[in-house]
A and B are shown apart, each in its own frame.
Chain A
Amino acid sequence: MSMFDVFNIAGSALNAQSLRLNTTASNLANADSVVGEDGQPYRAKQVVFEAVPVGKSEGRGVRVTQVVESAAPMRLVYDPANPAANGEGYVEMPNVNVVEEMVNMISASRSYQNNVEVMNTAKTLLQRTLTIGQ
Chain B
Amino acid sequence: MKARLEEALQFHQSALNLQARRQEMLASNIANADTPNYKARDIDFRSALAAQLGRPGEGMALAQTSAGHLPTGGAQGFEGYVGYRQELQSSADGNTVNMDVERAAFAENALHYEASLTFINGLLSGMRTAITGGQ
- Interface residues of chain B, those whose CB is within 8 Å of chain A, are 17, 20-21, 23-25, 27-28, 30-36, 38, 41, 63, 79, 82, 99, 103, 106-107, 110, 113-114, 117, 120-121, 124
Contacts and interface: CB of A to CB of B under 8 A. Distances in A.
Which label, helix, strand, loop or mixed, suits the secondary structure of the B interface?
A: helix
Contacts of B23: 2-3, 6, 122, 125
A5 B20 CA distance: 10
B88 to A, nearest CB: 18
A3 B27 CA distance: 10
Contacts of A51: 28, 32, 35, 38
A84 interface: no
Contact of A49 (B36, B99, B103, B117): B36
Nearest to A108: B34
A59 interface: yes
Interface in A1-25: 1-3, 5-6, 9-10, 12-13, 17, 20
B79 A58 contact: yes
Contacts of B25: 58-59
B64 to A, nearest CB: 10
Interface of A: 1-3, 5-6, 9-10, 12-13, 17, 20, 48-51, 54, 56-62, 107-108, 111, 114-115, 118, 121-122, 124-125, 128-129, 131-134
Contacts of B82: 58
A121 B106 contact: yes
14 contacts: A1-B20, A2-B21, A5-B27, A9-B24, A49-B36, A50-B35, A51-B35, A51-B38, A111-B33, A125-B114, A128-B114, A132-B121, A132-B124, A133-B124
A134 to B, nearest CB: 8
Contacts of A48: 36
A121 B110 contact: yes
B8 to A, nearest CB: 14
Contacts of A62: 31-32, 34-35
Given A60-B32, A125-B110, A133 B24 contact: no
